[in-house]
């Protein structure tokens, strides 16, 4: 029996989401290399350059004096990897595992208050808080598409 168009589209979108979640975790590991690379391409007189430079200097100082604090980056990467694995369930059985997509959508929504509240108290520039919020918004887009496709498949009784 030929796979439904909805299921094929769903799996393509979910694969993309899983890959991006995994890659997001990978980027939590080589922070100093990434920040150094970013600084090469950002104009030196910009506020973004000054912020990234400040973050890099702080990272390097923490790395030199308190390397155990960077363990948090390792756990951040690990959490992304585990979350990517979690979404294999919906990839395989969308209707049965729609709850995972719903939790993912809620998590994406909760990125916004976390970014604004924690960002404010941690002294993160507002523009950077907006960048952090974009991860929630950009994550919600494919998840919402998958949610809608799951509902269509469920209503068409294409997947049990």
Q: With pLDDT > 90 as the criterion, what percentage of the chain qualifies?
A: 92
Tokens of 21: 């979640």
CA 10 to chain centre: 19
How many other C-beta atoms lie within 10 A of the C-beta of residue 46? 10
pLDDT digits (tens, 9 = 90+) for 93-145: 999 999 999 999 999 999 999 999 999 999 999 999 999 999 999 999 999 99
CA 114 to chain centre: 14
Q: What is the pLDDT of residue 160?
A: 46
pLDDT digits (tens, 9 = 90+) for 122-131: 999 999 999 9
pLDDT digits (tens, 9 = 90+) for 74-92: 999 999 999 999 999 999 9
Q: What is the pLDDT of residue 3?
A: 61
Q: With pLDDT > 70 as the criterion, what percentage of the chain qualifies?
A: 96
Note the helical H segments in 70-97: 71-86, 88-92
Whether this model's pTM surpasses 0.95: no
Q: What is the pLDDT of residue 1?
A: 36
Q: What is the pLDDT of residue 88?
A: 98
Considering the chain, what is the average pLDDT of its residues? 94
Per-residue pLDDT band for 4 (boundaries 50, 70, 90) equals: confident
Distance CA(67)–CA(61), nearest Å, equals 9
């Amino acid at each position: 029996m030929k796979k439904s168009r909805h299921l094929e589209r769903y799996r393509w979108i979910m694969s993309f989401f899983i890959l991006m979640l995994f890659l997001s975790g990978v980027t939590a590991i080589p922070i100093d290399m990434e920040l150094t690379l970013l600084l090469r391409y950002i104009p030196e007189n910009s506020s973004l350059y000054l912020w990234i430079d400040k973050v890099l200097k702080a990272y390097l100082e923490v790395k030199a004096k308190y390397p155990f604090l960077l363990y948090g980056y390792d756990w951040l990467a690990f959490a992304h990897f585990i979350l990517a694995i979690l979404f294999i369930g919906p990839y395989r059985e969308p209707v049965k595992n729609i709850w995972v997509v719903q939790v993912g959508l809620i998590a994406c929504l909760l990125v916004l208050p976390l970014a604004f509240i924690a960002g404010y108290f941690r002294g993160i520039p507002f523009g950077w808080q907006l960048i952090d919020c974009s991860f929630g918004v950009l994550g919600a887009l494919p998840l919402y598409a998958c949610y809608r496709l799951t509902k269509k498949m469920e209503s068409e009784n294409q997947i049990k």
